[in-house]
Amino acid sequence: MTGNTKVCPVEIAGGLDNPIRRFIQNPKKIVKPFLMPGMVVLDLGCGPGFFTLEIAKLLDGSGKVIAADLQDGMLEMVRQKIRGTELEQRIELYKCQDQSVGVSEKVDFILAFYMVHEVPNQEKLFQELKSILKPNGKIFIVEPKFHVTGKSFETMLDIASNKGFDIIHRRKSFLSRSVLLKTK
């Protein structure tokens, strides 16, 4: 997925999954508008599973979440959280490849939260994401304002447009830039 050394390291993953963040970026409130029971959802760059577990719960006992990350340590954190729970049956852990996502299963929805800026070849990323999405599939991208300038975000949206995506909606997010895309 990336050869970038700027990927958030496993050693600071605890900071990605804490009560303060849950208050500021409530995972249920953020993803619920996009989910319906039975969906197949890709949580791309899932990290320690901050959104993964909530997505699985919101799918209401049907569908599944593919929790994909480049780092084994992040996937192990998710594995530990779901081990022995009902969520273990609805969450599939997937290790991305260095230069590609590598998921072959078609999905209804992709969450890319604070990760697109870590991918050096965004053209290749959006081309691959388009091939993963089912018809009428959507991608919700959220990028941190403290890492991604407005200009960089617009450049990313131009790349997405050139690879076959339309903007459905720009959303206001605290300390973030976000957009919902669908295939053209």
User: Mean pLDDT, 10 residues at a time, over the chain (184 residues)?
Assistant: 54 61 75 94 94 93 94 93 94 93 96 93 96 96 92 96 95 85 92
Rounded CA-CA distance 27/112 in Å is 13
* Two tokens, residue 111: 């969450």
Whether 142 is covered by a domain: the verdict is yes
Beta bridge partners of 12: none
Could you tell me if residue 68 is inside a domain?
yes
Position 37 in a domain = yes
Instruction: Indicate whether this model's pTM tops 0.85.
Output: yes
Detail the DSSP E strand segments found in 52-175.
64-69, 91-95, 107-113, 133-144, 165-173
Residue 4 lies in a domain: no
Expressed as residue numbers, the domain containing 77 is: 10-183
CA dihedral 42, 43, 45, 48 (to 10 degrees): -140
Domain count for the chain: 1
In a domain, 1, yes or no: no
3-state secondary structure of 131: helix
